[in-house]
Amino acid sequence: MDMDDVPTQQRNKLPDHLERQRTRVTCKADAPTHTQGFQYSGAFAAMGVDNSVSVEKFCNSFKIKINRLTEDDMEFDMIGVDASIANAFRRILIAEVPTMAIEKVFMVDNTSVIADEVLSHRLGLIPLDADPRLFDHISDDVPNERNTIVYKLHVSCEKGSQRLTVKSGQLEWLPEGSQLLMASAAQGEKQKTYTSFGQSQKNISGRSIGVKYKDITIARLGPGQAIELEAHAVKGVGKVHAKWSPVATAWYRMLPEVVLLKEIKDGEAEELVKKCPVNVFDIEDLGNGAKRAVVARPRACTLCRECVMGPTGEQVELRRVRDHFIFTIESTGALPPEVLFTEAVKILEEKCERVISELS
Amino acid sequence: MEHGSVADSTASSFSIMEEDHTLANSVRFVLNQDPRVAFCGYSIPHPADNKVNIRVQTTGDPAKDVMVDALQDLMVMCQHARGTFDTAVADFRANKPMERMDIDLNKS
């Protein structure tokens, strides 16, 4: 095709329909279209449009806006980033940001109805209020004050008394390390415990390392039953076991964009407002009893596609902005959500660094 | 580890251990945005193996250099993201002080 055939084509600018395919995912009634996007830098080279993203371009367009930030959950908008990067952050948050969790349980006595292994598993899942950055990964299985946190649980239910519920708050932190003695060594030698702490953990943490939530039920004891155990928590990552995942969940969704392709009036407008289960649309009064539908809350859109189905569906178009992510992080409590995100980004940097050093 | 030919340095496969989609997909994105790259893609040869293979073919530059540049770019992007995020959090806190956690029933 001769370039003269396209006189409307402006230099260095994509025609509207291509620009929309590049920056939006359109959700039709049956399926979304243009989900892939254009990855290749030279995709529009023939049209004189550069599709490459240099670091400078990225830095100029990248934006973050915090919508909500509490002690253990946050939501923010991440704008100007590709899904692959946003997804890397999400994956790292779930599987690769380390936390502390109970890994070994030394069962001294368990006469409760809950089996040892089930009890241990329950203990493992209890979120600990320990900053993992203060600790090391346990390497050659030598537990010391830098890689292990020790908890003790010693509860019993007296005969003749009511049933007893054991809560996570009853786990007692042992800053001096294990109190369980190993099978005695040679005579005269000091008896060893299951940890070798060089100093009190109080010196490392500065505050007591308890559990995050004190009201988690661990077990219920009947009269005459007892549990005595010691639990050792170590540092780990979520890909080994979900108990080390620092987030309840971390997810993102693309920003919804709802467009009315033509003016929707009166009865049709009311029908459209009624159709939407999350109230995306509002009615605007034009005076003289005339009404018009407007898109008031596009962010609420869950993409149920109710509005694009049926005979009037052609009037509305649902889109998602490809490079705008609404990112939510729900922390389990070890670290606040904003710290988790920075830690996740740091981990991706470390990954790059590792490969660079291996290549050079 | 890099697999390429001695005669032609413009095409190489990189086999990276202990990595998965997290890094590979991000690097593939950055590589694709580089005008020097003619083709790039990645695969995980077996789900049980902890490794990815990243294929890079360039229009003339050594594939290894382009790969290192992409990783460096990704690192700079991360650093920028982290900086932007920290500023956004600081701004948010300054404008709307965090609601104190008196409501937390666990901390009585």
Considering the entire predicted model, what is its pTM?
0.89
Are A190 and A72 in contact, with CB atoms under 8 Å apart?
A: no
Chain-chain contact of A40 with B75 (C-beta, under 8 angstroms): no
- The whole-angstrom distance between residue A187's C-alpha and the CA centroid of its chain comes to 53
Give the minimum alpha-carbon distance from A196 to chain B in angstroms, rounded to a whole number.
Answer: 31
Token output for A31 = 């399926």
Give the minimum alpha-carbon distance from A185 to chain B in angstroms, rounded to a whole number.
Answer: 41
Residue A173 has pLDDT above 80, yes or no: yes
Residue A164 has pLDDT above 70, yes or no: yes
Residue B105 has pLDDT above 80, yes or no: no
Residue ranges and CATH numbers for the domains of chain A are 99-240 (2.170.120.12)
**Residues of B in Cβ contact (< 8 Å) with A352:** 23, 27, 71-72, 74-75, 78
For A17-22, which contacts have Cβ atoms below 8 Å and span 24 or more sequence positions? A18/A44, A20/A319, A22/A51, A22/A322
Classify A349 as helix, strand or coil: helix
pLDDT for residue A185? 63
Q: Which of residues A8 and A96 earns the better pLDDT score? A: A96
**pLDDT band, residue B108 (cuts 50/70/90):** very low
Chain-chain contact of B22 with A91 (C-beta, under 8 angstroms): yes
**Residues of B in Cβ contact (< 8 Å) with A38:** none
Residue A163 has pLDDT above 60, yes or no: yes
Chain-chain contact of A359 with B14 (C-beta, under 8 angstroms): yes
Q: How many CB atoms lie within 10 A of CB A58?
A: 20
Give the minimum alpha-carbon distance from A261 to chain B in angstroms, rounded to a whole number.
Answer: 33
Residue A200 has pLDDT above 50, yes or no: yes
Chain-chain contact of B75 with A52 (C-beta, under 8 angstroms): no
Token output for A163 = 């049933």
For residue B22, give the chain A residue with the closest CA.
Answer: A88
What is d(CA A341, CA B84) in angstroms, rounded to the nearest whole number?
Answer: 12
What is d(CA A238, CA A247) in angstroms, rounded to the nearest whole number?
Answer: 9
Lowest mean pLDDT among A157-161, A162-166, A183-187, B5-9: A183-187
**3-class SS string, chain B:** CEEECCCCCCEEEEEEECCCHHHHHHHHHHHHCCCCEEEEEEECCCCCCCEEEEEEEECCCCHHHHHHHHHHHHHHHHHHHHHHHHHHHHHHHHHCCCCCHHHCCCCC
Residues of chain A numbered 85-124 and touching chain B (CB < 8 Å): 85, 87-88, 91-92, 95-96
**pLDDT band, residue A52 (cuts 50/70/90):** confident
Residue of A359, A49, A12, A94 whose CA lies nearest to B15: A359
Residues of chain A numbered 153-212 and touching chain B (CB < 8 Å): 212
Residue of B97, B31, B23 whose CA lies nearest to A89: B23
Burial of A150 (0-12, 13-18, 19+ CB in 10 A): buried
- The pair phi, psi for residue A271, each rounded to 5°, is -60, -45
- The whole-angstrom distance between residue A273's C-alpha and the CA centroid of its chain comes to 33
Q: Confirm or reject contact between A40 and chain B (CB < 8 A).
A: yes
What is d(CA A163, CA A192) in angstroms, rounded to the nearest whole number?
Answer: 36
In the Cβ-directed half-sphere of A319, how many Cα atoms lie within 13 Å? 18
Give the minimum alpha-carbon distance from B37 to chain A in angstroms, rounded to a whole number.
Answer: 8
Classify A19 as helix, strand or coil: helix
pLDDT for residue A1? 45
The predicted model gives A269-280 an average pLDDT of: 91
User: Number of residue pairs across A and B with CB atoms under 8 Å?
Assistant: 129
Kindly report, residue by residue over A275-297, the tens digit of the pLDDT. 999 999 999 988 888 889 999 99
Chain-chain contact of B81 with A345 (C-beta, under 8 angstroms): yes
Residue from B15, B29, B100 to probe the interface with A (highest A Cβ count within 10 Å)? B29
- Kindly give the residue spans of alpha helices, DSSP state H, lying in chain A: 16-23, 55-61, 83-95, 116-124, 202-205, 266-275, 337-359
Kindly report, residue by residue over A35-48, the tens digit of the pLDDT. 888 888 888 888 88
Token output for A276 = 């939407």
The predicted model gives A122-132 an average pLDDT of: 94
Chain-chain contact of B85 with A64 (C-beta, under 8 angstroms): yes
**Residues of B in Cβ contact (< 8 Å) with A87:** 21-22, 25
**pLDDT band, residue A144 (cuts 50/70/90):** confident
Residue ranges and CATH numbers for the domains of chain B are 2-94 (3.30.1360.10)
Kindly report, residue by residue over B7-62, the tens digit of the pLDDT. 788 999 999 999 999 999 999 999 998 999 999 999 999 999 999 999 999 999 99
Give CA separation, B1 vs A295, B7, B8, B17, in Å: 53, 18, 17, 8
Nearest to B32 among A39, A59, A69 (CB): A39
Q: How far apart are the first and last CA of chain B?
A: 55
- The whole-angstrom distance between residue A346's C-alpha and the CA centroid of its chain comes to 15
What is d(CA A265, CA A262) in angstroms, rounded to the nearest whole number?
Answer: 9
Chain-chain contact of A352 with B71 (C-beta, under 8 angstroms): yes
Give the minimum alpha-carbon distance from A22 to chain B in angstroms, rounded to a whole number.
Answer: 14
Report ipTM (2 d.p.): 0.87
Chain-chain contact of B91 with A82 (C-beta, under 8 angstroms): no
Chain-chain contact of B85 with A345 (C-beta, under 8 angstroms): yes
Token output for A337 = 């959500």
β-strand partners of A27: A32, A318
- Cα dihedral A15, A16, A18, A23 in deg (nearest 10): 130
Q: How does the average pLDDT of chain A come out, rounded? A: 89
pLDDT for residue A14? 84
Q: How many CB atoms lie within 10 A of CB A337?
A: 24
Kindly report, residue by residue over A56-115, the tens digit of the pLDDT. 888 999 999 999 999 999 999 999 999 999 999 999 999 999 999 999 999 999 999 999
pLDDT for residue A130? 92
Lowest mean pLDDT among A134-143, A149-158, A245-254, B43-52: A134-143
Q: How many CB atoms lie within 10 A of CB A202?
A: 14
Q: Confirm or reject contact between A36 and chain B (CB < 8 A).
A: no
